[in-house]
Amino acid sequence: MSHEDALVRSWSRNAEAWTRTVREGGIESRRLVTDAAIVRAVLEGRPERVLDVGCGEGWLARALAEQGIGVVGIDVSPELVDAAQRAGGGEFHAVSYDALAADPSLAGGEYDAVVCNFSLLDEHPVPLLAALRRVLRAGGALLIQTVHPWTAAGEGPYEDGWRTETFAGFGEGFAAPMPWYYRTLASWMDVVSAAGYVLADLREPLHPTPGRPASLILTCVMQMTLLPGKYPV
């Protein structure tokens, strides 16, 4: 099984455990820092419509819906999409990243913001991100939150490569480890540029206890449309 296939399979097998962990606040960094950080970054652009790519069980859609924002969420896992639909807060569809890259109209459009919140985990995200430019209005933004490369490097080398998340400490019920592709900061900059975006803002939300970055948030705008928009350039 390829890394990509194992990644997709892990989300279906772990859907119930992941939903429970997220809704019970079982991940400290999310509870203390990163959830609020991405909501704040999205709201600063005052969007009316948002596409949540890799929406999982739908927590971000619900948080944005509470602010009067219309949200469409897509995810590769039908099990997670079902959990999101049952909780409400948006419109949700089970769509693979490959299918979305081939036909971004599957997500509808146009959107003021496209958000990828800890959801770009494979080796080749450029085709997907490039395709999403077609559903993003001029002046809108792509927001990516991911693990911070310096913090997430851990004991491993500071170089791109596949790693494995075992979900140890995330609670019970996780049935399959998850392969994910680690990127350096320079690698993330290359991805953004190759997909046709310009970096407009970079944030490093800090965990309050160790005082180290809990995540990296990149706000990007389209290269071809450097026009005044809701998100600052």
4-33 b/e with 16+ CB inside 10 Å = b?
beebbbbbebbbbbbbbbbeeeebebbebb
Alpha-carbon distance of 205 to 213, in angstroms, equals 6
Across the range 190-194, mean pLDDT stands at 97
Tokens 């924002």 found at: 69
Q: Phi/psi zone of residue 227: left (φ > 0), alpha (ψ -120 to 50 degrees), beta?
A: beta
pLDDT band, very low/low/confident/very high, at 230 (cuts 50, 70, 90): low
Is there a contact between 197 and 46 (Cβ–Cβ < 8 Å)?
no
pLDDT tens digits for 8-63? 999 999 999 999 999 999 999 999 999 999 999 999 999 999 999 999 999 999 99
| Axis crossing angle, helix 3-13 with helix 78-87, rounded to the nearest 10 | 40
pLDDT tens digits for 69-126? 999 999 999 999 999 999 999 999 999 999 999 999 999 989 999 999 999 999 999 9
- Domains along the sequence of the chain with CATH: 3-225 (3.40.50.150)
Alpha-carbon distance of 104 to 132, in angstroms, equals 6
